[in-house]
Amino acid sequence: MNEEIIIDVQGLNLWYGHNQALHNVTLPVANRKVTALIGPSGCGKSTLIRCFNRMNDLVSGCRVTGNILYHGQNIYGPEADPVELRRKIGMVFHKPNPFPKSIYENIAYGPRVHGIKNKRELDGIVESCLHKAALWEEVKDRMHDSAMSLSGGQQQRLCIARTLAVNPEIILMDEPCSALDPIATSKIEDLIEELKKEYCVIIVTHSMSQASRVSDYTAFMYLGDLIEFGETRQIFENPHKELTENYITGRFG
């Protein structure tokens, strides 16, 4: 890889209680590219993506060893502040989770908690984020309706817009389309294509075709091990490991 490496995972192990969920994972992530994590259920791909913004801190009994370097700083180091980290590394969840507030308030929430109070500034952020998330045209006349009144696909794009509003560098997406129909899915995929011009995107997906469509790099995981990592085309067309090939060709999974 001759890209700029923004996140460098080095020898990461993770335990839930006595149960080891990640074994010595090493993975470089390139800036302004899409990196997909694929693998069968329970392989640890969601666990891994939740390490990048330390969301696993919320799980009781979760323990981590190894390093994740973000701009060269270990995010699990003693001085790292998960709150500040999450501001730079946003996350979109597998089920749309808008707050039970209005559309406007959902997006303004992030800037507000980071201290922006000026109404005009907030308006600007809300509008530009909705544009970036390709949702502006659909909601511009009902900004103060409840976010719960949107369809599932719209809610997910709202969640993406909400993530963009705190101006992150990296966007983590944990199976963002798993609760959506094919049309909403294709809209999100188009959006990811747009987003990678400005952001680094890491996406967990169940769908191999989605990984091959949207990602530049792909990591294949199995039972907590990172089996193979490389350019997406190479992984799908010419996998080096037999396990990867079996999974890609649908012999298990």
Interaction site with other proteins (CB under 8 A): 53, 55, 58, 60, 81, 83-88, 90-91, 93, 95, 97-102, 105, 109-110, 112-115, 144-146, 148-149, 159, 162-163, 165-166
CB of 180 to other proteins, least distance (A): 16
C-alpha 226/C-alpha 142 separation (Å) is 45
- Between residues 98 and 239, which has the closer beta carbon with respect to other proteins? 98
CB of 101 to other proteins, least distance (A): 4
φ, ψ for residue 22, nearest 5 deg:
-130, 135
C-alpha 78/C-alpha 228 separation (Å) is 30
- Between residues 63 and 240, which has the closer beta carbon with respect to other proteins? 63
How would you list the strands of the sheet with 200-204, edge to edge? 89-92, 170-174, 200-204, 34-38, 217-222, 225-231
Q: How far is CA 251 from CA 40, 51, 243, 244, in A?
A: 11, 29, 10, 10
C-alpha 131/C-alpha 139 separation (Å) is 10
Region of residue 231 (left: phi > 0; alpha: psi -120 to 50; beta: else): beta
CB of 113 to other proteins, least distance (A): 4
Q: Which of 49, 3, 67 is nearest to 172 (CA)?
A: 49
CB 229 within 8 A of CB 220: yes
CB of 97 to other proteins, least distance (A): 4
- Between residues 11 and 77, which has the closer beta carbon with respect to other proteins? 77
- Between residues 55 and 221, which has the closer beta carbon with respect to other proteins? 55
C-alpha 101/C-alpha 225 separation (Å) is 40
- Between residues 23 and 87, which has the closer beta carbon with respect to other proteins? 87
CB of 107 to other proteins, least distance (A): 10
CB of 166 to other proteins, least distance (A): 5
